[in-house]
């Protein structure tokens, strides 16, 4: 019998950084959220029939059962006083008969996370997960548990965000079935799966690249899970059966079984008549797995590696944006003799922090570029030199310094008076806003109002959109507005709104 931790340490040692592929089992373990059957059963109970009725009528096809539940739930949602608040908030966003069910699933998932705390007997295990040295995460879950564990990873929701964003393949979380942050993104019904499968060529190609280049550790799934079976079928189709051997040593399935002793071994699984080599581990808990993942060495944190990749991508794409590239030898030199040097500077001193301009601090909040300035020094030394009437982001630095969490001050801490005054002012202003019935993406807002229209309503943006990443990209694209008088002020306001939305407010 092999010890799981030792086996994984040795096996992963010479491979690229692993990805986690996370299913419902982890959310059930740490948050108490049900699996797909449990979720559908919860909402079927709000209709005139139990889940078993829909499952039988659908021939045990869960997406078809979800479509039937969504259809039965539609009239209930509009007419039952229990959902009056939801109808008030979302009625203008209903575009299909399954919309109400998706809104309520998202709300149910979000509410479970709002009050979540790790069970005491699992706290040590969850801390080991947070320390795992991984390159990225793929998940079919809707909840934000993984962002709680890896807060510095950047989330991408659904196929469209993966298609139209510059992903770097490191320190990122791919919500391939959608996220509770965007109810319309949820892959839930038979129609959703049909559309998902019809448009998944890009996603399949991206996942194939990950699977060939990285070991992938599956957590929270069973080997028979239909999502995993469908994924592997599309992967084999893309690779062709004769290339399946390229997955050797790459697929690691970890199955939780509390009554069995830990074991791990190489084996094969049959997918559409093709034998796929896998490593299968059975564990009574995840301690050994997470310990092995945390034992890997890395020269620098994954977040920093992602920033470096992002900067190189920008240099290539934009031909030295912001003057960050300095040639130390003629570019025309023979490529064989050209040296490329990256300098990662020492952490800023207090003197350097004091010298940061308001635009420097905005760049840090936007991570464009990300200088990794020490947040405690920014709060203590830099914020106070700017007038309170100057619009300046503050919450990223308060969060980084451990002074602000979940939309409020951390108990029993002493806060710099200037920083406290600024944060309380912004929290009061934004706290009075109420979301519009329909929230827009930044692309939709820009198409409707234009750049200047968005900047002119900067302090109302949290009530108009929840597209935080879209707002960040908008601000990076429009940095030139900083030198344009009136628009410089409006740009500062919009950055303050972004800072509140990403770091200041409690997650909705």
- What is the pLDDT, as a whole number, of residue 203? 81
Q: Where are the domains of the chain?
A: 4-31+118-294, 36-114, 304-344, 346-508
pLDDT digits (tens, 9 = 90+) for 338-382: 444 555 544 545 545 666 788 889 999 998 876 778 888 888 888
Which phi-psi region, left, alpha or beta, contains residue 139 (left: φ > 0; alpha: ψ -120 to 50)? beta
Distance CA 321, CA 302 (A): 23
Residue 225 and residue 191 in contact, taking contact as beta carbons nearer than 8 Å:
no
Q: How far apart are CA 183 and CA 192, in angstroms?
A: 12
Interatomic CA distance for residues 286 and 20, integer angstroms = 13
Q: Are 300 and 344 in contact (CB under 8 A)?
A: yes
Burial readout 86-121 (b: 16 or more C-beta within 10 A, e: otherwise): bbebbeeebeeebbbbbbbbbbbbbebbeebebeee
CATH 3.40.50 fits 4-31+118-294, yes or no: yes
Task: Give the mean model confidence (pLDDT) for residues 139-156.
Answer: 92
Asked whether residue 335 carries a pLDDT value surpassing 50, the answer given is no
Q: What is the DSSP string of 167-179?
A: --SSSEEEETT--
- Give the tokens for residue 78: 């509009």
- 65-87 residue pLDDT tens: 999 999 999 999 999 999 999 99
Helix axes 486-499, 468-477, angle to 10 degrees: 150
The average pLDDT across 280-293 equals: 96
Confidence of residue 418 (pLDDT cuts 50, 70, 90): confident
C-beta of residue 363 within 8 angstroms of C-beta of residue 329? no
The residues with which 172 forms a beta bridge, in sequence order, are 136, 154
Cβ of 258: how many Cβ atoms within 10 Å? Answer: 7
| Count of C-beta atoms within a 10 Å radius of residue 402 | 12
Q: What is the pLDDT of residue 346?
A: 46
| pTM greater than 0.75 | no
Residue reference for tokens 């007419």: 79
**pLDDT for the residue numbered 305:** 67
CA distance readout (Å), 480 to 442, 484, 488: 18, 8, 9
């Amino acid at each position: 019998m092999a010890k799981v931790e030792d086996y994984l340490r040795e096996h992963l040692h010479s491979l690229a950084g692993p990805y986690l592929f996370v299913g419902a089992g982890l959310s059930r373990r740490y948050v108490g959220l049900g699996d797909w059957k449990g979720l559908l059963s919860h909402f079927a109970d709000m209709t005139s029939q139990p889940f078993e009725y829909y499952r039988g009528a659908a021939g045990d096809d869960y997406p078809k059962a979800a479509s039937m539940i969504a259809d039965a739930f539609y009239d209930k949602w509009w007419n039952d006083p229990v959902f009056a608040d939801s109808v008030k908030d979302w009625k203008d966003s209903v575009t299909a008969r399954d919309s109400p069910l998706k809104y309520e699933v998202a709300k149910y998932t979000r509410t479970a996370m709002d009050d979540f705390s790790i069970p005491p007997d699992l706290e040590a295990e969850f801390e080991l997960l947070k320390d795992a040295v991984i390159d990225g995460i793929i998940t079919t879950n809707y909840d934000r548990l993984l962002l709680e564990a890896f807060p510095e990873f950047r989330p991408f929701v659904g196929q469209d965000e993966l298609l139209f964003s510059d992903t770097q393949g490191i320190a990122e979380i791919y919500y391939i079935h959608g996220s509770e942050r965007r109810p319309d993104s949820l892959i839930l019904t038979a129609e959703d799966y049909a559309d998902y499968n019809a448009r998944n060529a890009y996603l399949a190609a991206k996942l194939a690249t990950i699977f060939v280049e990285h070991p992938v550790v599956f957590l929270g799934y069973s080997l028979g899970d239909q999502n995993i079976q469908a994924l592997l079928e599309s992967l084999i189709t893309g690779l062709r059966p004769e290339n399946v051997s390229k997955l050797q040593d790459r697929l690691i399935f970890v199955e939780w079984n509390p009554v069995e002793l830990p074991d791990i071994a190489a084996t094969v699984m049959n997918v559409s008549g093709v034998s796929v080599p896998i490593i299968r581990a059975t564990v009574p808990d995840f301690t050994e797995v997470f310990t092995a993942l945390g034992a890997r060495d890395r020269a620098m944190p994954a977040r920093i590696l992602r920033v470096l990749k992002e900067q190189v991508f920008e240099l290539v794409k934009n031909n030295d944006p912001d003057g960050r590239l300095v040639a130390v030898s003629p570019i025309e030199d023979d490529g064989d003799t050209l040296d490329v040097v990256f300098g990662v500077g020492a952490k800023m001193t207090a003197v350097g922090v004091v010298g940061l301009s308001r635009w420097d601090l905005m760049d840090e909040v936007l991570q464009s570029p990300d200088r990794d300035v020490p947040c405690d020094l920014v709060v203590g030394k830099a914020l106070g030199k700017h007038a309170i009437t100057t619009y300046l982001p503050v919450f990223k630095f308060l969060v980084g310094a451990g002074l602000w969490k979940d939309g409020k001050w951390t108990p029993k801490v002493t806060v710099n008076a200037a920083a406290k005054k600024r944060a309380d002012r912004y929290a009061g202003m934004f706290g009075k806003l109420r979301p519009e019935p329909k929230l827009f993406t930044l692309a939709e807002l820009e198409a409707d109002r234009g750049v200047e229209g968005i900047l002119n309503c900067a302090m109302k943006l949290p009530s108009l959109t929840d597209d935080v990443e879209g707002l960040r990209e908008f601000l990076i694209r429009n940095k030139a507005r900083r030198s344009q008088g009136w628009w410089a002020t409006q740009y500062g306001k919009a950055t303050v709104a972004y800072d509140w939305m990403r770091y200041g407010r409690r997650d909705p």
